[in-house]
């Protein structure tokens, strides 16, 4: 690791102040991505601002059909929550036990790894990302590969999810890392059916054609012949864009089969 | 910077660089070399310790993040005359070959059993130890040992 100045603020205001005063600062949440990145010298921030000592940023609460998850809530805590079973199931399949004991939902969403699991839930459960300055709808939040609508210095404080009638998450995990080669969450809510896809493209998105097909007939068979355009999908040593496109269909059907 | 933490029940204060890792504090500052560094990329799990009651990979925790924490390492769970039930189970089931992964395996397994409510089956143990690699590929006996310890812990 390169040298950096480590800070451990105890309030959000202090954290934001440290960031604005830093030459090239970075926030540290659970560190499950950032610390390996620092160790490989792929990043050389002047200041690392640890959000771990700021109170009030953890926990899962349910209020009027909305489930709110604090930005610093660790995957293990979401996995143990019974608020939205499909969200708990998703969280229980992130990485390994040690990653789930440290990694946080806010860190995952701020990083917007194309193969992260949480983004599928954020788009499928009509999520809202709350930050130190504003609230961002899921449809506006993910903007590209490791890119989000977050501004410099903005901190994810919590994420709201709509409580679905039923939902299920299916993923094809990379067998070594357990990142999602492709992951699909299907959610049936009062008034909408959402299909959230992660792993396939540069960032999470909703598969509109599948949502329309499922709105007419909520069964796995309704997705026969409904494909997604894979021309812009990720292609790497793990899977070609075409295979990822195929997986979206298979996983969406499996998810529907679990809850139809 | 100086950090204070509790390691195996004893209060410790150490002066470390800002970019030090928890595993550096344990091995270099405190001489607790039972915690191993295997891959150093948070994959192998040889460095697993308990931090505030959770199994974590100490190669992927900054020292500063452990300031004020309660840390337990392999040295803190038993001794040669009074092994922890998990250590006993590893010995009884020939669950170690070269032994390099063993400290991390045991610390992960204790956390797994403690949180498993006595309901772990073979699949749950294999899933729970996903983050620990054994280059001797001795998984079969490791799983047997963890299931045995579930009864004795």
Task: Give chain A positions within 8 Å (CB) of B41.
Answer: 36, 39-40
- DSSP assignment of A217-256: --SGGGGTT-----TTS--SSS--HHHHHHHHHHHHHHHH
Rounded to the nearest angstrom, the minimum Cα separation between B68 and chain A is 10
A105 and A177 belong to one structural domain: no
Domain ranges of chain B: 2-76, 85-152
CATH 1.10.150.170 is right for the domain spanning B85-152: no
Find, among B19, B21, B16, the residue nearest to B2 by Cα.
B16
User: CB distance B55–A32 less than 8 Å?
Assistant: no
User: CB distance A98–B48 less than 8 Å?
Assistant: yes
A79 touches chain B (CB under 8 A): no
A17 and A91 belong to one structural domain: no
A111 and A199 belong to one structural domain: no
Domain end point (choices A146, A162, A178): A162
Rounded to the nearest angstrom, the minimum Cα separation between A5 and chain B is 6
* CATH classification of the domain holding A201: 3.30.390.50
A2 touches chain B (CB under 8 A): yes
- pLDDT reading at A190 higher than 90: no
- Could you give the angle at the alpha carbon of A15 between the alpha carbons of A35 and A1, nearest 5°? 25
- Show the domain range for A199: 166-259
- pLDDT reading at A170 higher than 90: yes
Structure confidence at residue A191 (pLDDT): 85
Structure confidence at residue A17 (pLDDT): 98
A6 touches chain B (CB under 8 A): yes
| Helix (H), strand (E) at residue A77 | helix A75-79
A156 and A188 belong to one structural domain: no
Domain end point (choices A162, A191, A225): A162
A95 touches chain B (CB under 8 A): yes
CATH topology assigned to domain B2-76: Ubiquitin-like (UB roll) (3.10.20)
Q: Chain B: residue nearest A5 by CA?
A: B18
Structure confidence at residue A246 (pLDDT): 97
pLDDT digits (tens, 9 = 90+) for B67-110: 999 999 999 999 999 999 999 999 999 999 999 999 999 999 99
pLDDT digits (tens, 9 = 90+) for A22-77: 999 999 999 999 999 999 999 999 999 999 999 999 999 999 889 999 999 999 99
Task: Give chain B positions within 8 Å (CB) of A32.
Answer: 42, 60
A43 and A69 belong to one structural domain: no
Task: Give chain A positions within 8 Å (CB) of B62.
Answer: 6, 28, 31, 35, 48, 50
- Tell me how many domains chain A contains: 3
Alpha carbons within 13 angstroms on the beta-carbon side of residue B92 total 15
Domain end point (choices A114, A139, A162): A162
Find the mean pLDDT for residues A197-220: 97
> In this prediction, what percent of chain A has a pLDDT beyond 90?
96
* Least trusted range by pLDDT, from A55-59, A63-67, B2-6, B23-27: A63-67
ipTM of the complex: 0.96
Q: Chain A: residue nearest B109 by CA?
A: A97
Find the mean pLDDT for residues A189-215: 96
A210 and A144 belong to one structural domain: no
> Token pair for residue A237?
């040593």
**Structure pTM?**
0.96
Find the mean pLDDT for residues B131-147: 97
What's phi and psi for A172, nearest 5 deg?
-105, 100
Asked if residues A203 and A147 have their Cβ atoms less than 8 Å apart, the reply is: yes
User: CB distance B112–A97 less than 8 Å?
Assistant: yes
Rounded to the nearest angstrom, the minimum Cα separation between B11 and chain A is 20
| Helix (H), strand (E) at residue B54 | strand B54-57
Distance CA A80, CA A50 (A): 25
Find, among A116, A153, A149, the residue nearest to A135 by Cα.
A149
3-state secondary structure B26-50: HHHHCCCCCCCCCCCCCCCCCCEEE
Q: Where are the beta strands (DSSP E) in A108-198?
A: 128-131, 135-137, 142-144, 147-148, 156-162, 166-173, 180-189, 192-198
Structure confidence at residue A227 (pLDDT): 87
Structure confidence at residue B139 (pLDDT): 97
Top pLDDT among A65 and B59 is at B59
Find, among B76, B29, B31, B87, the residue nearest to B51 by Cα.
B76
Nearest CB neighbour to B64, from listed A50, A96, A99: A50
Task: Give chain B positions within 8 Å (CB) of A6.
Answer: 1, 18-19, 62, 64
Distance CA B95, CA B90 (A): 5
Residue whose pair of structure tokens reads 């969450």 in the numeric block: A185
List, in order, residues 6 or more apart from B70 with CB less than 8 Å away: B5, B6, B51, B52, B53
A14 touches chain B (CB under 8 A): no
């Amino acid at each position: 690791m390169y040298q950096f100045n480590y800070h451990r603020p105890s309030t959000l205001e202090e954290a934001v102040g440290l960031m604005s005063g830093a030459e090239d600062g970075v926030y540290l949440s659970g560190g499950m991505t950032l610390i390996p990145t620092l160790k490989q010298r792929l990043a050389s921030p002047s200041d690392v601002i640890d959000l771990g000592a700021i109170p009030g940023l953890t926990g899962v609460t349910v209020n009027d059909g909305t489930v709110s998850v604090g930005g610093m809530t660790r995957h293990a805590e979401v996995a143990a929550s019974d608020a939205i079973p499909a969200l708990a199931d998703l969280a229980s399949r992130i990485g390994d036990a040690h990653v789930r004991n440290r990694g946080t939902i806010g860190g995952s969403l701020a990083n917007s790894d194309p193969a992260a699991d949480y983004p599928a839930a954020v788009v499928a459960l009509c999520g809202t990302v709350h930050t130190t300055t504003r609230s961002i709808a899921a449809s506006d939040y993910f903007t590209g590969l490791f890119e989000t609508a977050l501004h410099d210095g903005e901190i994810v404080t919590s994420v709201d999810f709509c409580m679905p009638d039923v939902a299920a998450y299916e993923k094809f995990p990379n067998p070594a890392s357990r990142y999602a080669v492709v992951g699909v969450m299907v959610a049936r809510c009062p008034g909408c059916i959402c299909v959230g896809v992660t792993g396939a493209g540069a960032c999470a998105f909703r598969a509109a054609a599948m949502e329309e097909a499922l709105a007419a007939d909520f069964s796995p068979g309704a997705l026969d012949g409904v494909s997604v355009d894979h021309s812009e999908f990720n292609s790497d040593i793990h899977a070609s864009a075409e295979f990822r496109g195929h997986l979206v269909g298979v996983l969406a059907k499996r998810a529907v089969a679990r809850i139809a | 910077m100086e950090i204070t933490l509790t390691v195996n029940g004893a209060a410790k204060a150490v002066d470390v660089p800002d970019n030090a890792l928890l595993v550096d504090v344990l091995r270099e500052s405190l001489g607790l070399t039972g915690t191993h560094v295997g891959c150093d990329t948070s994959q192998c799990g040889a460095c697993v310790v308990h931090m505030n009651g959770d199994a974590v990979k100490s190669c992927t925790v900054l020292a500063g993040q452990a300031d004020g924490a309660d840390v337990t390492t392999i040295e803190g769970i038993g001794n040669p005359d009074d092994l922890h039930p998990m250590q006993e189970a590893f010995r009884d089931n020939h669950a170690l070959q070269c032994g390099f992964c063993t400290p991390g395996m045991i610390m992960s397994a204790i956390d797994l059993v403690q949180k498993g409510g006595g309901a772990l089956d073979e699949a749950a143990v294999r899933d729970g130890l996903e983050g620990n690699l054994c280059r001797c590929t001795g998984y079969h006996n490791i799983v047997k040992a963890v299931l045995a310890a579930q009864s004795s812990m």
